[in-house]
Amino acid sequence: MAGPGDREFILVLNAGSSSIKFAVFDGELTEQLSGIAAEIGGASFLRIGQDEEKSPFIDHRAALRAVLQALANRGFPISRLRAAAHRVVHGGRKLTQPVRITPDVRAEISACSPLAPLHNPHNLAAIDTLAELAPDLPQFASFDTSFHSTNPEVATRYAIPKMMETKGIRRYGFHGLSYASLVHHLPAISGEPLPSRLLAFHLGNGASLCAIKNGQSIATTMGYSPLDGLTMGTRSGGIDANAVLRLVEDHGLERTKAILNHESGLLGLSGGKSDMRKLMLDHTADSDFAIEHFCYWTLRHAGSLIAAMEGCDAIAFTGGIGENALAVRARILRGLEWLGVRMDPDANHANRPRLHADSSKIAIWIVPAREEEMIARDALTLMEAA
């Protein structure tokens, strides 16, 4: 039986609406393995590294049990875990820092479920299942909203009556763990201190921008939910509230939710493709327009965030599109040449960490997304401070 000295690993869990992503890190924050239990409730399967097997998971609890058994079979039983750390999408106004999970914290995560109904309940299912299987295992939570808690009230408050504000109708922002990781890793990549005014692009199936001033978020494009802001894979991005009300009148509430969250964005514009890689290979008028729409609105929002920071010293790209779609990066950077941006085409084509030419007034970097490592780092920091 493992003793305290053998408890050396941190299990990171990211429970989504139909999946559980997981990774195991050692005490030096080196990833040991990772995988996903996907399509929970449907044609579910479990993938660890290159190994994949179909397995029926009726719910998230069943999927997590299967994940834990698979990890045990590979030499990472619960007895070797020092802690479990969870990505929780919504922390509301109260949970603005990584925390150890207590009954009070669990209750607050539950209270935030109406703000993230597709995520927080599944995060709680993972937390509760682990608590049942390993009641002595410390559990920690990092929140996707917390990085933006430094936004000033003028940025977070909608211009609606104050009675609505008390019901949680405000801007929260998301992708916070990605931005926190970017802030942590950029100085090591650049070899320089963190820029004072950093414009960060998290571009993927979900996409947002963040204005980071002196290491803190002061503005971001997502708002009350991850639906707002940029054109995304299947989400509409910003849309007039009266247009939403018209859709509800014509189609009903549930159908409107499906349209805006799952049938819009690149998918709706292109007539069926939400994956940027497929769009870039398609070369039809609809696909080209969808890509241009994505870039145009990314640039529109970039101008807004540059104004919020009163300037810009550096740009950083992260996320699947930000790290890999060189034509999208090139289009966005061309649109920012008025700022003094000068891209090195060879560096961009090679996906090098540094993208700026020597003549550029603005530094440009690629920072690989490492959200799971950030969650493990948060938990390790809390344990070492205890």
- Is 104 noted as a catalytic residue in this protein? no
Q: Which of 144, 228, 288, 378 is catalytic?
A: 144
Of 134, 149, 19, the C-alpha closest to 81 is 134
d(CA 221, CA 127): 30
Greatest Cα pair distance in the chain: 64
Under 8 Å between Cβ of 239 and 230: no
Which of the residues are catalytic? 144
